[in-house]
Amino acid sequence: MPYFARLDGYWARKNWFDVINFDINAPHSMQDWLDASLKVSDASKQRWGYGNSVNRGGDGETNVRDAVFGAGGRFTDASGTNVVFNSPETIAGYDWLKDVYTNSKWAPALPPGVAAWTDPSNNQAFLAGTVGYTRNGGTVFAQAQTDAPEIAKDTFFVLVPTSPVGKKQAVAAPAGASLYLFAGAKNPDAAKQVIQHLLSKEILKKIWATTPGYPTPGYKWGWDEPEIVNSPNNVSKQFQKMVYGETLFTWMPGPEPKLWIDAVGDAVVLTDTMAAILGGQATKDAVADGQKKIEAIRDKYGGK
């Protein structure tokens, strides 16, 4: 049973981008954000605009996925079984990322050491006030409200950018928390009572109020409740646009989620392919190797 949806996406320091008259609330491509991030960067002030890593980890996987899938790259076709990773669209997405992290033009916009960032590194850099634009879970915003309130006041949830190459799509796949009743549970009636209690309006409103700007409704009800409407910097209502907008999950265009596709994410194929490219391997060869890795994972799970 869905419990709550949680903010996850792109965040920006509004005051940084206001200086260059860049509207953070308007639709933009990844290239638009990169261009703007370069303009707001100033190493003498410990400011770097583009705080996104493609290193192994949750944040890195997502950053690579958004560029590659936004360009039209996919793990599978509509059958949900055939692997189609090795495509011109996938290569175009990786080539754009390669330019971001190897072209000296963009170096002033990238935080020092970004190539080796882990998930905690991303949060630490943002909370230190050194990053102007990043992709992260709502946890970074929630933590900023307690640990760095001045930064939190200037932090806004922005629309998912489109990939600047290929099909130029925006990859929006809202996530959340769910409650489960296991098959064979010894006391299912009591479990159902607990679930009903946790899904009561009273409890859900308390959850939203306890960590404003992170948990949001998992159902149509709740989006007009004060705890959501009055979220800091309107981030929860902004997230609502993503939840009810066009979505694109990693298992699409297949008909349903697949275990083997989840396993591809766990195997960090996306970031390992990126690492190979940054290490000097030709993009087309690295993508071809990624195709083979994904096929092996699909076969291991029997396409399920």
242-253 tens-digit pLDDT: 899 888 989 999
Q: Please say whether the beta carbons of 78 and 175 come within 8 A.
A: no
In the chain, which ranges are continuous DSSP H helix?
A: 14-18, 30-40, 58-70, 88-102, 119-127, 139-147, 149-153, 188-198, 201-210, 226-229, 235-243, 259-266, 269-278, 283-300
pLDDT bucket at 139, cuts 50 / 70 / 90: confident
Averaged pLDDT, 60-87? 96
pLDDT at 218: 94
Q: Does the domain spanning 2-175+245-254 belong to CATH 3.40.190.10?
A: yes
Among 151-160, 170-179, 283-292, the minimum mean pLDDT is found in 170-179
Question: H helices within 71-220, ranges in order?
Answer: 88-102, 119-127, 139-147, 149-153, 188-198, 201-210
Reported confidence tier of residue 300, pLDDT bands at 50, 70, 90: very high
Where are the chain's structural domains? Answer: 2-175+245-254
Confidence of residue 164 (pLDDT cuts 50, 70, 90): very high
Reported as a single tens digit per residue, the pLDDT across 194-231 is 999 999 999 999 999 998 889 999 999 999 999 999 99
pLDDT at position 119: 84
Confidence of residue 66 (pLDDT cuts 50, 70, 90): very high
Report the interhelical angle of 58-70 vs 30-40 (nearest 10°).
130
- Distance, in Å, from the CA atom of 233 to the CA atom of 256, rounded to the nearest integer, reads 35
The C-alpha atoms of residue 111 and residue 92 are separated, in whole angstroms, by 24
- Reported as a single tens digit per residue, the pLDDT across 36-58 is 999 999 999 999 999 999 999 88
Three-state DSSP state, 274: helix
Cis peptide upstream of residue 149 (ω within 30 degrees of 0)? no
Q: Buried (b) or exposed (e) across 226-256, using 16+ Cβ within 10 A? A: ebbeebbbbbbbbbbebbeeeebebbbebee
Output the average pLDDT for the chain. 95
Residues 5, 222 contacting (CB under 8 angstroms): no
pLDDT at position 137 is 86
